[in-house]
């Protein structure tokens, strides 16, 4: 039986699309059984629908508290019965209960060479520090912020004329290669 993948995303879903395409090409011997999103306007929903992948929306603002949102998210994930959860542009910190439930079964893509530049605005951090090389990291999610065990990394040279946007665009190209490869692994 094919492994069951659930992707969790908040936005446009370009990394999700890279996973979809890798699944369609047979690069990943699995099935994406659901997209879970906290954003009912996420473009990732259109990508899921186009690929025939069920969508589960768990709206943060509809919850009375962070705890109730996390409980609703955990229930949604449990119903999907994933073998692997892929955070692909999910813009929230995953709660401890979910991290514990899916220890070593949840991965994340981050636009920096961790452990450098964890958290938000990784490209800005790289530029401010004057690094010559940055990139992206796929890692297991643990209870630390972008600190779980690294699965793989891809490097991107920082150009003298880079700004946040140009650097982010080049890193994203590498993310689209790295995330499907990590899922396959």
End-to-end Cα spacing for the chain: 17
Percent composition of the chain: helix, strand, coil (DSSP 3-state, to 5): 40, 25, 40
Torsion of CA 152, 169, 146, 34, to 10 degrees: -80
Torsion of CA 12, 3, 51, 165, to 10 degrees: 20
**Active-site residue, 110 included:** yes
Q: Which of 110, 121, 129, 176 is catalytic?
A: 110
CA–CA gap between residue 98 and residue 74 (Å, rounded): 6
**What are the residue numbers of the active site?**
110
């Amino acid at each position: 039986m094919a492994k069951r993948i659930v992707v969790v995303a908040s936005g446009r879903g370009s990394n999700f699309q890279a996973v979809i395409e890798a699944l369609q090409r047979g690069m990943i011997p699995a099935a994406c059984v659901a997209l879970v999103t906290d954003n009912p306007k996420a473009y990732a929903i259109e990508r899921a629908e186009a690929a025939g992948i069920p969508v589960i929306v768990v709206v943060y603002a509809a919850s009375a508290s962070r705890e109730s949102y996390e409980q609703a998210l955990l229930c949604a994930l449990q119903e999907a019965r994933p073998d692997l959860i892929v955070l692909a542009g999910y813009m929230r910190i995953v709660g401890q209960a979910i991290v514990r439930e899916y220890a070593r079964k949840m991965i994340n893509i981050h636009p920096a060479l961790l452990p450098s530049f964890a958290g938000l605005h990784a490209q800005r951090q790289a530029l401010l520090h004057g690094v010559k090389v940055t990139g992206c990291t796929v890692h297991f999610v643990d209870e630390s912020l972008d600190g779980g065990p690294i699965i793989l990394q891809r490097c991107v040279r920082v150009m003298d004329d880079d700004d946040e946007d140009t650097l982010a665009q080049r890193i994203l190209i590498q993310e689209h290669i790295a995330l499907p490869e990590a899922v396959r692994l």
